[in-house]
Chains A and B, each alone.
Chain A
Amino acid sequence: MKEDMGSRVLLVDDSLAVGRQLERILAEDARYEVVGHARNGAEAVKLFAAERPDLIVMDIVMPVMDGLQALRTILGMEKTAKVVMISSVGGVGEKASEALRMGAKAVVSKPFEGSEVLSTFERILAEDNSTRPEEA
């Protein structure tokens, strides 16, 4: 068990390649520790319950249980969970809006660059929950 490793991140993407890309981006930054990699929404919910990570990075379109369903379940388990959705359909107003409305902290479009992902994480982790009373 690693300690004092900074923010614990759970990756959720059915793509091995995207998972590896995210792992590589986070491995280069000592502020993050990847605590798990789920391949669908159902696995994400299980790993979330077991690990209680500081941040969840989750694809929207996935088999078994999609990202929006998993987002709803995770926020039902922990209202203040910090979830960033990443998606090739991030550009679709409806999906992106729905994810944000449901409580996702941000939607990052694929393909993404490491710097874009890290600055998004940094911004979200810096947000103090107590300053966000509008989050229902």
Chain B
Amino acid sequence: MSVKFFGQFLLERGIVTRSHLVAAIRLQESRNLRLGDYAVRRGYLTEPQADQINQAQLTADKRFGELAIEMGLLTPEQVDELLILQQNDYILLGEALIDQNAIERSALDRELEAFKRDQTRYIIDEVVFPPGTKEPSLLAVPIDLTPKMLLRLLGIHGKLGAGESESRYPVERLVSVTISFTGSVKVDYTLSVSRDIAASVTEKIMGEPPLPGDDDVVTDSVKELANIICGNAAAKYAQLGRRVEIGPPSMGVPNIGPEKGFIFFPIHVAEGAVEVRLSQ
């Protein structure tokens, strides 16, 4: 019930063993080199130059080749040549598993189909952002997953409203939790839910309803819900080729300055209130 990488899917279904998977991942690591490694091997860049570009990538959401050209360290022709070399060597996990005799081709094809069917539940629907939002397709990932996970985890049907720019904080009676995304997507995700929803989350996670005075457990459960949503979002980013980390959840809403606002998304549910805010 989550966004997965193919190896984990196979492992959980008992199709491959852990040691075969680790061997396949090691093979991938030895074959799937970074563009900078090829550039150093070909003598186009020194290692410090490649490191310099990698460092620049931490603050600019650009590909290695693009930055190398901008920095005057590689020509477009060299980048094209390196990309072809990289593409020729690249090995997918399924191929690596076949290479390790961990799976037959026919079983791999069957499992890939099953994996795609499993993951279609996480295809991103259209999320409406306020005009002028930068990179809406990336920001849409955790927003889109929120009502989907509410339905899958709690059986709560929610309708996602259009995103609006606003600076209002959630009302105090809502339990709010924030998780920061870092890496190639930088945004704070805040989930706010009413007490009724929070109690449902607790019951789902613990297998029994919260007792009176169990406030810490209830708020902790909302943290866990946010964690699951953002964890799935991080997995989705990985599928999209983006390297994104999520931090531990914290209670409350980020303190935004007066000049900055949230992108606010209501999720209309019958059982209580659910709101999501993004801030950058």
Contact = CB atoms under 8 A, between A and B. Distances in A.
Interface of A: 14-18, 20-21, 24, 61-63, 87-94, 96-97, 100-101, 105-107, 109-111, 114, 132, 134
Contacts of A87: 231
B25 interface: yes
A15 B231 contact: no
A91 B220 CA distance: 21
Contact of B221 (A17, A88, A91, A106): A17
B204 interface: yes
A24 B7 CA distance: 29
Interface string B60-78: 0000000000000000000
Contacts of A111: 1-2, 153, 204-205, 228
6 contacts: A61-B227, A62-B248, A88-B230, A91-B2, A91-B4, A105-B18
Interface of B: 1-5, 7-8, 11-12, 18-19, 21-22, 25-26, 153, 202, 204-208, 216-217, 220-221, 223-224, 227-228, 230-232, 234-235, 238, 243, 246-248
A91 B232 contact: yes
A20 B206 contact: yes
Contacts of A24: 206-208
Nearest to A90: B8
Nearest to B23: A134
Contact of A89 (B153, B204, B246): B246
B224 A92 contact: no
A16 B220 contact: yes
Contact of A63 (B217, B220, B230, B248): B248
Contacts of B235: 89, 91-93
A88 B2 CA distance: 9
A109 B207 CA distance: 17
Nearest to A103: B22
Contacts of A20: 206, 217
A80 to B, nearest CB: 15
Nearest to B216: A16
Given A61-B231, A101-B22, 10 more contacts: A14-B248, A15-B223, A20-B206, A89-B231, A89-B234, A91-B235, A91-B238, A93-B7, A96-B7, A97-B25
Contacts of A91: 2-5, 8, 231-232, 234-235, 238
Contact of B248 (A61, A90, A97, A107): A61
Nearest to B250: A63
B234 A17 contact: no
Contact of A18 (B1, B21, B205, B208): B205
A62 B19 CA distance: 27
Contact of A17 (B202, B243, B247): B202
